[in-house]
Amino acid sequence: MKEITYREAVREAMREEMRKDELIFLMGQDVGPYGGEHKVSGDLHSEFGEWRVKDAPISEQGIIGCALGASITGCRAIVEIPFMDFITLPMDQICNQAAKYLYTFGGQASVPMVIRTAMGGYIRAAEQHSQC
């Protein structure tokens, strides 16, 4: 079995699913040509283009809100929030909207959305970026 890094495994899993389903898109800060804050999205932008690998402004609430809306309408969002420290900002959309949508509509609707984030102090980025 080929050995790859966790970063490469996540990227290849996203690539595989994006090749299977044209409704899947990736959205987050610097996930486009830059390849992601932690370089997880890598070259996905060059393969899938800006319509499916979307750079977003630094607004965690906005990113999750856009992904939630797109998911409700039938797309399948993969969202990258670069640092776990900032996942609390969009918790209203996550807890009060995305998590309850299935039950609000009696099991007749879903929110196919994946939220990825990173945790840890390996980059020595101080208190707002590493929880260390």
- Residues with active-site annotation: 60, 129
Alpha carbon distance 9, 24 (integer Å): 18
Exposure of 101 by Cβ count < 10 A (0-12 exposed, 13-18 middle, 19+ buried)?
middle
SS3 state at 54 = strand
Alpha carbon distance 119, 130 (integer Å): 7
Which residues, in sequence order, are bridge partners of residue 115? 79
